[in-house]
Amino acid sequence: MSKQEIIEINTRIFVEEFEVEATRISPEADFREGLGLDSLDYVDLVVLIEQEFGVKLVEADFKPIVTFNDFYTTLENKVNAR
């Protein structure tokens, strides 16, 4: 799966499921600040990612993520490694 496909799917998830304004989502934007999710929302995000991509993200996967691009790269690596 291409990174662009991952970005498009995640943008849809962020906007539709978490009501994040699309203007807050850009590759260089701060991931945590841009989403503004609480801990329960992150659980929902992990579940949605597993449903959409068939991969499981764990807490350790989120530690090095600073930007949306970091998130996309992490997800791309997991998706393409399976």
Give me the active site residues, please.
Answer: 38
Q: How far apart are CA 24 and CA 45, in angstroms?
A: 17
CA proximity to 14, closest of 68, 79, 51, 70: 68
Structure-token pair, residue 30: 């701060």
Structure-token pair, residue 70: 């970091």
